[in-house]
Chain A
């Protein structure tokens, strides 16, 4: 009975190199690149084949139900002659513009929410409401106020993501572990030092998750908004294809949208998130 209350937490072995290697190799081991490529190609080929078979069995005409080949052909041609890329470029520019504004507003709003109980009481429910509202509901208001153009879409994009960013900022900053706060206190850190050197970095993992969610809301809001407007972009390309009953173009555009979404979400944000989680010692928990 020497230990009056054992904490029971065992320590890891003291060889850093081994530990470093373990930590670096968190999750399942990485498969070889060519294996990944081969499996991806195989998967795509399988579904395309199934699509083609479905078309043949259905006995429909091409204008009623498109087979995969014309879709791929349209996709290739659209990329080559630049019409698709111009649209995508315009849309991406628009969403980025809106997202950056929403980051600015959302971060300030989130900091206000953490800074005082009064602001949390005043603005908290409002922010939560904005975040819960599907952003497309803002479109009628936006069209009435700004007309059917870029400004209306921008407005919808901002309203779609600002709530997520604000809430992520608030949650990140308000969940700074007590030990970090006490370390800051015992070293005598001033308020700005505490915020810059302790609270903000500590909030980063939660914040990045919010940024990712905000991005995906922005992107969805943008496409919804563009479908109803007449400015150059992915939405307009889709509307045009609908007006001409051009199935191959519709599907080609959809594939393009999926590619962009996956690229930004999985490649950009998820990697950043994973890196931060490993560094912050949160991975694998």
Chain B
């Protein structure tokens, strides 16, 4: 079902996903049906690449991320990370979560030191490394604050510092900015872009925001649902750092939204009465009118 696969450059593959399927049983007993969260997914991600997975809910993008992370096992297919099959989660593929996962009983610095403590680093080195990464996310001054005292953006920056501090080979980000307001999200996009340029980490980033996807990615993987699969992969031909107001980003976004149009109809069929239909023309019109729909670009 892959309409147009564009592999990255010829750099070595960091992650390669081959024929991965994952299903869940819905209902019970004889009425139980197999629901494919993912079916026959192939994807290669190169070293240092920034890839975003975008699609409607139910397209399996988070499941795919969890499989790469090692939290879940595929029912079929293989996942290789740096040439070795993925068997369990580990600090080489560090995961960032939408609800940040900071430990509320630790302050900012102690949270950043968590991974370093797991690695068994001595106290002095832990401290130095924590400070280095707190500086990178501009939170040195808040190192003694507790998570309940921080805003959503500050929590995510702390989580990013905690992740980078263990020097992971790649980051897996599961809608990390999904709970933030548009303004904070803009800031986080710029921050993440600059961190990525500084550290050259490979990043796989899951999002439901098409705008977020095109802003950040080298390649946007568009996913579809029922069964969850890759529909299309698009290259974003802009270099970093990017001007997020670049008209070609808006254009790309329109292309992707048009690509995802029939996914909306599927959603409507799944989540409403049979006589509920969307006026397709008006949706495409909205999609084509572009930027101002999302609060993120309101100027």
Contact = CB atoms under 8 A, between A and B. Distances in A.
Interface in B97-144: 97-99, 101, 103-105, 114-115, 117-119, 142
Contacts of A9: 178-179
A33 B69 CA distance: 54
A180 B181 contact: no
B192 interface: no
B94 A187 contact: yes
Interface string B147-159: 1111111100000
A12 B117 CA distance: 30
Contacts of A187: 91, 94, 114-115, 118, 166
A4 B179 contact: no
Given A186-B91, A204-B105, A4 B57 contact: yes
A279 B107 CA distance: 10
Interface string B79-99: 000000000111101110111
Interface in A230-246: none
A157 to B, nearest CB: 31
Contacts of B146: 279
B210 interface: yes
Contacts of B151: 11-16, 19
Interface string A170-202: 000000000110110111111001000110011
Given A4-B55, A187-B94, A16 B99 contact: no
Contacts of A3: 208-209, 294
Contact of A180 (B55, B103, B149, B166): B103
Contacts of B25: none
A145 interface: no
A2 B105 contact: no
Nearest to A186: B95
B179 A7 contact: yes
Contacts of B94: 186-187
B210 A4 contact: yes
Interface residues of B, number: 59
Contacts of B99: 179
Contacts of B286: 1
A188 B145 CA distance: 25
B63 to A, nearest CB: 14
A14 B101 contact: no
Interface string B212-235: 000000000000000000000000
B293 A2 contact: yes
Contact of A186 (B90, B117, B180, B260): B90
Contacts of A279: 104-105, 146, 148
A201 B147 CA distance: 15
Contacts of A190: 118
A202 B91 CA distance: 21
Contacts of B117: 193, 197
Interface of B: 54-57, 69-71, 88-91, 93-95, 97-99, 101, 103-105, 114-115, 117-119, 142, 145-154, 166, 175, 178-181, 184, 208-211, 253, 257, 260, 263-264, 283, 286-287, 293-294, 296
18 contacts: A1-B283, A2-B210, A3-B208, A5-B208, A11-B153, A11-B179, A12-B151, A13-B151, A16-B154, A23-B148, A179-B101, A180-B101, A182-B101, A186-B90, A187-B166, A198-B103, A201-B105, A204-B105
Interface of A: 1-7, 9-16, 19-20, 23, 179-180, 182-183, 185-190, 193, 197-198, 201-202, 204, 278-281
Given A5-B56, A14-B154, A185-B88, 8 more contacts: A4-B208, A9-B179, A187-B118, A188-B90, A188-B118, A197-B114, A197-B117, A201-B103
